[in-house]
Amino acid sequence: MNAKNANDEDNKVWDVIVIGGGPAGMMTAGRAGERGHSVLLLEKNPIFGKKLLLTGGGRCNITNNKTNVREMVLKYKTGSKFLYSTFAQHGVTDSMKFFASKGIALKEENEGRLFPVSNSAKTVRDALVTYMEHSKVTVRTRCTVTAITKDEKSGLFYITLLNTKRVCAKKCVVASGGVSHPETGSTGECFTWLSTLGHEVQKNNYALVPISLKDTWVKKLAGIALPECKLTLYCDEKKQCVQSGKVLFTHVGLSGPLVLNLSKTIGTLLSQGTVTLKLDVLPTHEIGELRKTFQTLLAQESNKKIKNVLGIFIPSGMVGPLLEITGVDGETPNHSLRAHDRVKIVTCMKALTCTVNRLLGAEKAVISSGGILPTEVNFKTMESRLVQGLYIVGDVLNIDRPSGGYSLQLCWSTGYVAGSHI
């Protein structure tokens, strides 16, 4: 989808220039254009929403069904005290209505995650592009920004492009994201521009990132998902926390919402000592109850092999690796299974122990952490408190957000509010 070309309008003074064609940038541009402003959007990639197309495994976890504003903002931890005024103007319910008006029907999945019924991030991206077209936003793709300056006398912003050309606007919106998935164009240059304009940048890193394990058996579990798993986190054998949620085994380690949400904590602990995890594969069964149930089943199926009954308790793909970890021969008849082997199997199901190697890199991160300090932004308008006419939205902000649609909701809310106040 293409909006009109802007190559002949280099000398124009735009009302608004938006840098970054991701979710926050498209929402800002569309809303500002809808209100009658002349808007130019600059995107370094040949297409819009390149990272958006990756979200939710390509299905796009649009938001989370927490329609109560106070309940929703608490999910952003230290950022919650800043976000109430933003979400009160455009919250989850508003986002649901917005996408419904664009023909995007939503469905709810586990933990309140909302996805398009189409199961396609492309339909969401295309709806935003259409929104910009209807709002008469002018766009330039393959357009790399190298600097932002403000002329204090005129109050105008000058944005320098890679070809040394400059474009000019009365207002400027930075919506170019953090440092996760750098292959999509999110390489963090915006923090240099904003620092030059006087903003303080919290050290940029990546967050919501899968982990690599030292245990070689993990590759045999690749692709197996545990919808309900309890994870206990240790550092140098000292318990740090216990959390529950969905875990996904990968070829090198662990992913899934539970692990992603703990990744920042795990990264901090890795600098302090050895980090281990204990996974309770059957969190709804107390260990004593599980031992009795397991022993009863073995007696009832005494002539079967142990490998043929474990699948009643755990995913079939886990049976072989679990037996390998415990050192139990899967061909052993149930009636011949020794008591201490029964204990090892049950213990492994209740406390599958693994050692963390490292966090995977930025190319695997769902979002980045760090960015512009929230104290430097007016969240009622998303305007910088330091530079009049400068607006900062989306992943550029230093606000922690968990997995589950919260990052995109931050983009929708901050983008819509910025576009409404420019």
Angle at 408 between CA 405 and CA 410, to 5 degrees: 110
pLDDT at residue number 208: 78
pLDDT tens track for 93-110: 999 999 999 999 999 998
What DSSP element (H or E) covers 341?
A: helix 339-350
**Confidence at 4, pLDDT banded by 50, 70, 90:** very low
Q: DSSP letters of 92-157?
A: HHHHHHHHHHTT--EEE-GGGEEEETT--HHHHHHHHHHHHHHTT-EEESS--EEEEEE-TTT--E
Question: Biggest alpha carbon distance in the chain?
Answer: 89
pLDDT beyond 90 at 274: yes
- State both tokens at 151: 């002329």
Distance CA 246, CA 143 (A): 39
| Position 177 pLDDT exceeds 80 | no
Q: Contact 269/241 with Cβ under 8 angstroms? A: no
Residue 135 is predicted with a pLDDT of 98
Whole-model pTM over 0.85: no
* Mean predicted confidence (pLDDT) in 140-164: 93
> What pLDDT shows up at residue 411?
97
pLDDT digits (tens, 9 = 90+) for 182-204: 444 455 688 889 999 999 887 65
Contact (Cβ atoms closer than 8 angstroms) between residue 401 and residue 411:
no
pLDDT score for 190: 84
* 257 against 205, higher pLDDT: 257
Would you kindly state where each structural domain of the chain is located, as residue ranges? 3-205+364-421, 210-360
Residue-wise pLDDT for 345-389, tens only, equals 999 999 999 999 998 875 565 555 668 999 999 999 999 999 999
Q: In the block, which residue shows the tokens 């933003």?
A: 86
Which pLDDT does position 3 carry in this prediction?
46
Angstrom distances, CA of residue 354 to CA of 215, 286, 325: 6, 21, 11
Distance from C-alpha of 207 to C-alpha of 34, rounded to nearest angstrom: 33
> In 35-77, where does DSSP find H-type helix?
69-73
Query: Crossing angle of helices 316-326/339-350, nearest 10°?
Result: 120
Dist. CA 250–CA 222, nearest whole Å = 4
Residue 397 pLDDT class (50, 70, 90 cuts): very high
Q: Which of 58-62, 163-167, 300-304, 345-349 has the lowest mean pLDDT?
A: 163-167
Q: Are strands 253-255 and 383-384 parallel, antiparallel or unpaired?
A: unpaired
pLDDT at 163: 78
Between CA 12 and CA 168 the distance in angstroms is 7
Spatial CB neighbours of 154, under 8 Å, sequence gap ≥ 6: none
The HSE-up count of residue 279 (CA atoms within 13 Å, CB side) is: 26
What value does the mean pLDDT take over residues 29-57? 93
Quick one: tokens of 16?
Answer: 């608004």
pLDDT band, very low/low/confident/very high, at 178 (cuts 50, 70, 90): low
Q: What pLDDT does residue 203 have?
A: 67
pLDDT, tens digit, for every residue of 315-342? 999 999 999 999 999 999 999 999 999 9
Nearest CA to 197 out of 39, 392, 387 is that of 387
The CATH H-level superfamily of 3-205+364-421 is FAD/NAD(P)-binding domain (3.50.50.60)
Q: How confident is the model at residue 180 (pLDDT cuts 50, 70, 90)?
A: very low
DSSP state of 8: T
Q: How far is CA 228 from CA 16, 66, 111, 259, in A?
A: 47, 21, 11, 12
Task: Pick the more confident residue, 180 or 178.
Answer: 178
| Spatial separation of the C-alpha atoms in residues 269 and 12, rounded to whole Å | 52
